[in-house]
Amino acid sequence: TQLLEQSPQFLSIQEGENLTVYCNSSSVFSSLQWYRQEPGEGPVLLVTVVTGGEVKKLKRLTFQFGDARKDSSLHITAAQPGDTGLYLCAGAGTGGFKTIFGAGTRLFVKA
């Protein structure tokens, strides 16, 4: 069974700080996605990474896919209160149909 473990589970920081959240697995994934979910809403896709070692940037967010395609990280620079939310990583297995989700990192950025 493929599993995705996210860490930390919860993170509370001050506005302006930097942070990194992690998504790890013992399985290889054909791609990984990162989503952000706000209370009462569905997840919103932030990025998809496909190639081992790939780095993608989205304004203050930097996403990296591990060389072996088993892990990923999300780095936020100069966090803002608007970054508050639940960050979910999701992995598409090789040869399978379904995408599985990690339990998420709940980020709270204080003004």
Partner 1 sequence: NAGVMQNPRHLVRRRGQEARLRCSPMKGHSHVYWYRQLPEEGLKFMVYLQKENIIDESGMPKERFSAEFPKEGPSILRIQQVVRGDSAAYFCASSPRDGNNYGYTFGSGTRLTVV
Interface residues with partner 1 (CB under 8 A)?
6, 30-31, 33, 35, 40-45, 48, 50, 88, 90, 92-93, 96-104, 106
Could you tell me the smallest distance in angstroms from the CB atom of residue 106 to partner 1?
8
For partner 1, the closer CB: 20 or 93: 93
Question: Which residue, 35 or 107, is less far from partner 1 as judged by CB?
Answer: 35
Look at the block and give the residue holding tokens 């966090």: 79
Least distance in angstroms from the C-beta of 41 to partner 1? 5
What is the smallest separation between the CB atom of 38 and partner 1, expressed in angstroms? Answer: 10
CA 66: distance to chain centroid? 12
Bridge partners of 35, per DSSP, are 45, 88
Q: Which two tokens stand for residue 111?
A: 């003004």
DSSP 26-86: SS-EEEEEEEEE-TTS--EEEEEE-STT-EEEETTEEEEE-TTSSEEEEEESS--GGG-EE
The nearer residue to partner 1, 22 or 101, going by C-beta atoms, is: 101
59/98 with CB nearer partner 1: 98
